[in-house]
Structure 1
Amino acid sequence: MLCQLSVTNYAIVRFLELEFRAGMTTITGETGAGKSIAIDALGLCLGNRADAASVRPGADKAEVSARFSLSDVPLAKRWLEDNDLELDDECILRRTVAADGRSRAYINGNPVPITQLKLLGALLIGIHGQHAHHALLRADQQLVLLDSYAGHQLLLDAVVKSYHNLRHAEQQLRELEQTAQERQARRQLLSYQVEELNDFDLGEQEFVELENEHKRLANSTALAECLQASMLMLSEDDEANIESLLNRVISMADELVSYDDKLSSVNTMLNEALIQVQESRSELQHYADNLEMDPEYFAQLESRLSKVMQLSRKHHVTPNELYQHHQSLLAELNSLDSNDEMVEALQAQVQQYQEAYQQAAQKLSSSRQRYAKVLDKLVTESIRELNMPKAKFTIEVNFNEQTMSLHGSDSVDFKVSTNPGQPLDSLSKVASGGELSRIGLGIQVITSQKVATPTLIFDEVDVGISGPTAAVVGRMLRQLGSTTQVMCVTHLPQVAGNGHQQMFVAKQSKGGMTETSMVPLNREQRIEELARLLGGDTITSNTLANARELLAE
């Protein structure tokens, strides 16, 4: 619950520090005194929009902080833990607004984005404004109120999850189906290209091998001449060859070693050189013996190389890249075939998600219809107490399987009959302004009892209500305050008198500056304030007696 609110340099508030207790707290004051200013300031701590106008004239910044007890708010504790913010039995929300309009937000002293203030604030406080009953005319708000009362969050989550799954699968399917014609055209082209390349069947390293073989055969004459000359120089020339010369040097080396064995290594190297020359000559002879020029084979080789060049130009790749290009086209063709299989799989998946959504939406609708009947009875009883003795209220829940949304397949219509013999019809068509405010207040009080928010604020929700009806409203809010912290800004003495405690708002002007203050009232001060609300500025013994009676009740 809200324990303390501190406000500095906000609007016409210079400084305000308020302590709050459990139960129902009523806030009263003269018209224009700024009874709602503390609630507006609190709204800053809950993430409401801030601007430079929030700062008191002449001040550098406005600052608002709110301290909450979390002893009975497990959802808020879990949220703080999930967001790695300091967790204790208390929580402090703080907001500053500079004179230039820039604002900063803090949770337990940690700087946070405004969105986090909003998320945590929604778990701590619920605010009902004086025009909240007008929202009852909107179908979407009626649905929210019914769901809030029903509290079937798991059913709502199941619908949301099914809806997202369905829409995601439909989007994937739509994208594939939209490109089906393009894929078919691409498949035809790829099929022709891949078939041609499959028929040619170029190996991964074949082009390099073809090039080398072609170069060898194209230069076979030069090869033969060079081979013959090399072998002559190595051993076959009668006049001089390397082998005979090495033999002569080896003979001289043998003689040198006989004179000095330190030269034995030279002798060894010369003998090894002779062996290398003899082996080189043998290799060249072997190569020469196998060097053949087959014109038919050479023609086949040239033809295949020519085909490689032709296909490379056709596919705009180099000959070295043709093999890999072939593999890429083949992979793309297989991918297009798998896309067709994916279309079929997605179609089946969409069907499954549609069925899952329908089941989730149907369960949610059944729950809504069940709780709608309970709420029908409670609201009818409530508004009959609020000086509408013959009224009847009902919630119509219509399920339409053709409708799919994040909120299910239901349309909800709040209907009322305010007079005997009058048929039930939508609120917007039947209820007057005063009736609508009473119906709205009754619904707010009833639904608030089911919501886990520990603090509820009612900001002049009793506008348009007076007399005995106001007394009923006061008793309703007091009863709600027995289980939930309730704060109520009101101008009705019947409502103010029902508070467990009361605060008074006053506005003073001094030195050309206006300042608003808010103070708690003791019993005698409450009697005087209630008397003022009952009789105006002139307080008589009768109004004081009436005030005492209100407070006693």
Structure 2
Amino acid sequence: MLCQLSINNFAIVRFLELDFRPGMTSITGETGAGKSIAIDALGLCLGNRADASAVRPGAEKTEVSARFSLDDVPLARRWLEDNDLELENECILRRTITADGRSRAYINGNPVPLSQLKAIGQYLIGIHGQHAHHALLKSDHQLQLLDSYANHRMLQDAVASAFQRCRQVENELRQLEQSQQERIARRQLLQYQVEELDEFALAEGEFEAIEAEHKRLANGTALIEDCQHALSILSESDEGNIESLLNRALSIAATLEGLDPSLATVGNMLNEALIQVQESSSELERYLSKLELDPEHFAFLEERLSKAMTLARKHHVAADKLFEHHQMLCNELGSLDGDEAQIEELQLQLKASREAYLSHAQKLSQSRSRYAKELDKLVTASIQELNMPKGKFTIEVSFNPDQMSPSGSDSVEFLVTTNPGQPLAPLGKVASGGELSRIGLGIQVITAKKVATPTLIFDEVDVGISGPTAAVVGRMLRTLGEATQVFCVTHLPQVAGNGHQHMFVNKTSKGGQTETSMQPLDKEQRVQELARLLGGDTITANTLANARELLQGH
């Protein structure tokens, strides 16, 4: 429960330090005094957005701190442990906002993002505002109220998880199907290109070989003439050739060696040269014997070379890369065939995930229907007690398997009749403003009993209610306060008188500055405040007597 709230320089509050007790605490004050100021300040500790306007004029920063006891709040303790923020058996939330709009948040002294204040806050406090009954007209809010009462979180989580899985598979399938036409066009192009390259059937390394042979045959005449000329120089010319000249030189070298043995190396070198010339001549003769100028083969090579270069230009690759390009296209064509198999697999997965979703959604719908009947009886009894003796309330739960959402496949509608013989109809079409307020309050009190939140705040939820009905509302909230800490901001004495304790909000102006304060009232002060609420500015013996009567038995 909320044990203490400290407020420094927030709006028109200079300083407040409030200690709270279990039970129902009534909060009253004059119109415009700022009865909801403490709730607004507490909202900062719960992660509500704020800017520099929250800072009291002239101050450097706003600071709000709320201390909670965690007795019987296991979810909050577990959350703090999971986030390494635990501090014995209490939780201290603190928020600061500077005059230039910078905000900082702390949990048990540790700096945290605002999202963590919101996360822990849901386990500590539930706030019911004065306009909450207007939200009753919205189908999504009606569904939320029913789920809060049923408290079937595991079923909701299972449905949300199954829905997420369906959406994931649907998105993957949609992406593949959206590109299916592109894949079909790409496959057709690839099939044409692969068939064309298959028909040409260029082997690995073949282009380089063709190119070399074509070059040789294209220069065949020059090769023959040059080879024959070289042979003539080396060994065949009658006028003189290298081989005959070397033989003459060897003969001379032999004579010289006989005269001077030191010239023997000259003869050796000339002999090696003669051998090299003779081998060169033999190699040229062998080459010439094999060199054939076959016009048909040359034409074949030229045609294949031209085709290879044409295909290379067509595919925007170098001719010597055409074989590799052919293999790459074959691999891509095979992968596109694999996409078809993936689509079939995803279609099977989608069918299975939808069946799983519907199974979880049906279980959730059955639970909603069961708790709807239970809530029907409780709300009907509540509104009959709230001065609608013939009123009847029903929750209609409709399951539609084609309506898939993270919250299930149900449509929920609150139906009511307030007069005898009047058929059940949607809440917004039947209930008047006052009736809607009473119905909304009854639902809030009933659902609050089921939600495991240790502190509940009702901020002027009794707007539009008066007289005997107000007394019933007060008793309802007091009964709720027996099990849960309840704060009720109210302007009705019949409600305020049911509080276990009472706090008064006062606004004063001095020296050109306005300041709001809040203080607990003792029994006599409560009598005076209830009398003010009953009679306005003029307090009489009758209003005092009525005030004391409201407090009797409390």
CA contact (8 A) 2:197 2:326 kept: yes
Q: How far does residue 378 in structure 1 lie from its aligned partner after superposition?
A: 1.1
CA distance in 2, matches of 1:384, 1:196: 86
CA distance in 2, matches of 1:257, 1:440: 130
The yes-or-no answer on 1:87 pairing with 2:83 is no
Q: How far does residue 340 in structure 1 lie from its aligned partner after superposition?
A: 2.9
CA distance in 1, matches of 2:289, 2:73: 98
CA distance in 1, matches of 2:282, 2:72: 100
Superimposed CA distance per residue, residues 331-373 of structure 1 (whole angstroms, 9 cap, x where no aligned partner): 3322332333333333333333332232222222111111100
TM alignment of 1:303-452, pairs within 5 A: 303-452=303-452
CA distance in 2, matches of 1:274, 1:340: 74
TM alignment of 1:145-160, pairs within 5 A: 145-160=145-160
3-state SS of paired residue (2:517): strand
CA distance in 2, matches of 1:273, 1:108: 100
Q: How far does residue 314 in structure 1 lie from its aligned partner after superposition?
A: 1.7
Q: How far does residue 230 in structure 1 lie from its aligned partner after superposition?
A: 8.2
CA distance in 2, matches of 1:521, 1:131: 28
Change in CA separation of 1:214 and 1:28 when aligned onto 2, cut-off 3 Å: same
TM alignment of 1:168-179, pairs within 5 A: 168-179=168-179
CA contact (8 A) 2:87 2:108 kept: no
3-state SS of paired residue (2:136): helix
CA distance in 1, matches of 2:544, 2:297: 126
Q: How far does residue 200 in structure 1 lie from its aligned partner after superposition?
A: 1.4
CA contact (8 A) 1:232 1:241 kept: no
TM alignment of 1:197-236, pairs within 5 A: 197-219=197-219
CA contact (8 A) 1:233 1:241 kept: no
CA distance in 2, matches of 1:285, 1:195: 46
Q: How far does residue 144 in structure 1 lie from its aligned partner after superposition?
A: 0.7
CA contact (8 A) 1:497 1:551 kept: no
Q: How far does residue 308 in structure 1 lie from its aligned partner after superposition?
A: 0.7
TM alignment of 1:237-256, pairs within 5 A: 237-239=242-244
Change in CA separation of 1:332 and 1:535 when aligned onto 2, cut-off 3 Å: same
CA contact (8 A) 1:394 1:416 kept: yes
Letter of the structure 2 residue corresponding to residue 484 of structure 1: T
CA distance in 1, matches of 2:23, 2:270: 115
- Counterpart residue number, 2:238: none
Consecutive unaligned residues of structure 2, counting only runs of 5 or more, are 236-240
Which stretch of the first structure deviates more once superposed, 143-152 or 295-304?
295-304
Q: How far does residue 384 in structure 1 lie from its aligned partner after superposition?
A: 2.0
CA distance in 1, matches of 2:111, 2:221: 87
Q: How far does residue 459 in structure 1 lie from its aligned partner after superposition?
A: 0.3
Q: How far does residue 542 in structure 1 lie from its aligned partner after superposition?
A: 4.9
Letter of the structure 2 residue corresponding to residue 238 of structure 1: E
**What is the count of residue pairs matched by the alignment?**
543
Superimposed CA distance per residue, residues 207-266 of structure 1 (whole angstroms, 9 cap, x where no aligned partner): 233323333444456666777888999999434569x98xx89x98x97799xxxx9xxx
Q: How far does residue 450 in structure 1 lie from its aligned partner after superposition?
A: 1.6
Q: How far does residue 54 in structure 1 lie from its aligned partner after superposition?
A: 1.9
CA distance in 1, matches of 2:489, 2:271: 118
- Counterpart residue number, 2:478: 478
Q: How far does residue 119 in structure 1 lie from its aligned partner after superposition?
A: 2.8
CA contact (8 A) 2:65 2:94 kept: yes
CA contact (8 A) 1:527 1:551 kept: no
Consecutive unaligned residues of structure 1, counting only runs of 5 or more, are none
Which stretch of the first structure deviates more once superposed, 336-345 or 314-323?
336-345
- Counterpart residue number, 1:552: 553
CA distance in 1, matches of 2:448, 2:230: 108
3-state SS of paired residue (2:122): helix
Q: What is the identity percentage for the equivalent residue pairs of Structure 1 and Structure 2?
A: 70
Which stretch of the first structure deviates more once superposed, 349-358 or 428-437?
349-358
Q: How far does residue 540 in structure 1 lie from its aligned partner after superposition?
A: 4.6
CA contact (8 A) 1:234 1:241 kept: no
3-state SS of paired residue (1:470): helix
Change in CA separation of 1:277 and 1:28 when aligned onto 2, cut-off 3 Å: farther
3-state SS of paired residue (1:403): coil
CA contact (8 A) 2:194 2:329 kept: yes
CA distance in 1, matches of 2:269, 2:498: 121
Which stretch of the first structure deviates more once superposed, 29-38 or 151-160?
151-160
The yes-or-no answer on 1:512 pairing with 2:517 is no
The TM-score with structure 1 as length reference comes to 0.86
CA distance in 2, matches of 1:524, 1:270: 141
Which stretch of the first structure deviates more once superposed, 404-413 or 493-502?
493-502
